[in-house]
């Protein structure tokens, strides 16, 4: 086989961004200290801790301000905004922690040099990534084995998750001719030409998108074996989808959704659950204290804009389907559901002007720390839904109630990755994220959700 075209996996791109952010910043600071009179940060005189903390702050605030979100990294406007925020907060916190970092220099101009060295180096590297590494030079070319009717939808789902994922063509699972064969947006490859096509177009991967492998023709099966022996990666669609989108393909799996599991061991790991519970208690106490500090402002805003009760409670479905009362700050008009329960939606007319602020800043969620302390909710988990909607959705998605095997949460994988659910279709997408969390639940994923939640709050994306 010819040498494959160079491409980067999603995880490789994120690792490359993190690594090169640190490398370029350190290189800029080294050159600054070598060619100019700059001694605030020096690799010769600085301690290992001060060097280490700069790298930690870069990655920490880069994560919070979405520098490692591939869609943000590939968008010039969003990239510029993220770089500026990351550089500002990195320098600010680095200066405020002299216990671990160098003491403030007597010459305050050194701080300006320090800031612009970080900002300019990040800009230089990120513009290089945007215009070179994020270009079509490094796309990942794949070939699908699937039905003619399914190729467009399959490609659409993966294209949304990774813009560098290119469908070079597909092999139809149908053995019979089709009059619409040439009407597809993707090139259809004959069985006999698959190996030649893979070699000619530097295809990196073949994806099998068939629910039953027995539908693969014997000659195609033999070609797939030959490609496997020659180093071409062959993967099943559900595995590719889950890895690329970070949600479970429940629609594709249909009644065989059990193939998408087993659940994460963390769901029964006593040490993990004890650690998480301790964190939840501490986080809830701090959250309620912060809520008390904000309460006077909220009361004034509620009195002027909402003109009604400050708090409200509502019955939601919790772990194992057991209902509980959830506490929230009211953000809607009084009697908002006098005509019956309906999904909340973006720009909902029932939400008051001050209620929009409460929702976007997530301040309306603060009373739910009481639910966390009571044990009805967790900090991280699927958002609790009302019984009427659970019943309605479960009639169309029988496996919807799987999300009730763990406690509902204040925030979750679906909340930080998808917009507000306005209908059954949105609930289906959010369910895919919830089930992904249940399957892959871990400390690492929990920390990831916390950082994404901070981004949601700081960028005012609550709904």
- Nearest to 45, CA basis, from 101, 115, 120, 84: 101
| Cα distance between residue 74 and residue 18, in whole Å | 15
In this structure, the number of other CB atoms found within 10 A of the CB of residue 414 comes to 26
Q: Using the 8-state DSSP alphabet, how is residue 327 labeled?
A: E
Instruction: Indicate the SS3 state at residue 293.
Output: helix
pLDDT at 434: 93
| Cα distance between residue 238 and residue 436, in whole Å | 12
Q: For each of the domains in the chain, give its residue range(s) and CATH number, in order of start.
A: 10-133 (no CATH), 139-245 (3.40.50.11060), 265-458 (no CATH)
Q: Which two tokens stand for residue 29?
A: 């600071």
Angle value at C-alpha 363, between 357 and 366, nearest 5 degrees: 160
| Cα distance between residue 260 and residue 97, in whole Å | 46
Report in angstroms the alpha-carbon separations of 303 from 19, 296, 330, 359, 368.
50, 11, 11, 17, 21
pLDDT at 155: 79
| Cα distance between residue 415 and residue 433, in whole Å | 9
Please identify which residue in the block is written with the tokens 């998480």: 276
Instruction: Indicate the SS3 state at residue 360.
Output: helix
pLDDT at 382: 93
pLDDT at 181: 55
pLDDT at 2: 44
**CB environment 345-354: b (16+ within 10 A), e (fewer):** beebeebbeb
| Cα distance between residue 270 and residue 278, in whole Å | 12
Q: Which two tokens stand for residue 339?
A: 């005509």
Spell out the per-residue pLDDT of the chain, length 463, in tens: 444 566 677 778 889 999 999 999 999 999 988 888 888 888 777 788 888 999 999 999 999 998 998 888 888 999 999 999 999 999 999 988 888 888 887 788 888 999 999 999 999 999 999 888 877 667 888 899 888 877 877 777 787 777 778 888 898 876 555 555 555 678 888 878 888 898 888 888 899 888 766 667 778 888 888 888 888 889 888 888 888 888 888 777 666 666 667 778 888 888 999 999 999 999 999 999 999 999 998 898 888 887 778 888 889 999 999 999 999 988 887 766 666 666 666 666 778 888 888 888 888 889 999 999 999 999 999 999 988 888 888 888 777 888 899 999 999 999 888 876 667 778 888 988 999 999 999 999 999 999 888 888 877 665 5
| CB distance 172 to 199 below 8 Å | no
H or E element that contains 236: strand 233-236
């Amino acid at each position: 086989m010819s040498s494959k075209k160079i491409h980067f996996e999603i995880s490789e791109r994120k690792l490359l961004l993190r690594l090169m952010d640190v490398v370029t910043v350190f290189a800029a600071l080294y050159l600054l200290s070598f060619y100019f009179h700059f001694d605030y940060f020096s690799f010769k005189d600085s301690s290992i801790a001060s060097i280490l903390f700069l790298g930690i702050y870069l990655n920490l605030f880069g994560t919070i301000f979405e520098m490692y979100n591939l869609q943000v990294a590939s968008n010039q406007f969003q990239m510029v905004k993220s770089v500026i925020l990351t550089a500002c907060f990195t320098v600010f916190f680095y200066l405020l922690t002299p216990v671990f970092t160098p003491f403030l220099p007597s010459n305050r101009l050194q701080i300006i040099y320090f800031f612009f060295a970080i900002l300019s180096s990040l800009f230089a590297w990120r513009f290089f990534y945007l215009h070179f590494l994020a270009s079509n030079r490094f796309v990942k070319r794949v070939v699908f084995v699937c039905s003619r009717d399914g190729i467009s939808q399959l490609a659409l789902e993966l294209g949304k998750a990774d813009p560098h994922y290119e469908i070079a063509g597909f092999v139809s699972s149908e053995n019979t001719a089709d009059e619409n064969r040439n009407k597809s947006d993707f090139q259809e490859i004959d069985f006999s030409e698959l190996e030649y096509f893979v070699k000619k177009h530097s295809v990196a991967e073949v994806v099998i998108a068939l629910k039953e492998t027995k539908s693969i023709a014997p000659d195609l099966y033999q070609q797939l074996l030959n490609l496997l022996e020659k180093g071409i990666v062959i993967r099943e669609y559900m595995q590719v989808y889950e890895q690329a989108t970070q949600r479970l393909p429940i629609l594709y799996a249909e009644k065989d959704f059990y193939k998408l599991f087993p659940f994460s061991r963390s769901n029964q790991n006593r040490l993990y659950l004890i650690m998480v519970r301790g964190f939840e208690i501490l986080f809830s106490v701090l959250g309620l204290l912060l809520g008390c500090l904000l309460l006077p402002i909220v009361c004034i805003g509620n009195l002027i804009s909402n003109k009604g009760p400050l708090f409200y409670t509502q019955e939601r479905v919790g772990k194992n389907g057991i209902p509980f009362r959830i506490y929230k700050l009211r953000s809607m008009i009084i009697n908002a559901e006098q005509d019956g329960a309906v999904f909340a939606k973006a720009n909902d007319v029932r939400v008051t002007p001050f209620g929009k602020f409460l929702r976007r800043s997530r301040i309306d969620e603060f009373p739910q720390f009481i639910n966390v302390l009571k044990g009805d909710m967790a900090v991280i988990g699927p958002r609790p839904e009302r019984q009427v909607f659970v019943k309605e959705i479960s009639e169309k998605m029988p496996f919807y109630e799987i999300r009730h095997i763990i406690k509902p949460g204040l925030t979750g994988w679906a909340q930080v990755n998808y917009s507000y659910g306005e209908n059954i279709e949105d609930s289906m997408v959010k369910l895919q994220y919830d089930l992904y969390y249940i399957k892959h639940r871990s400390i690492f994923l929990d920390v990831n959700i916390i950082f994404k939640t901070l981004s949601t709050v700081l960028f005012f994306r609550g709904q």
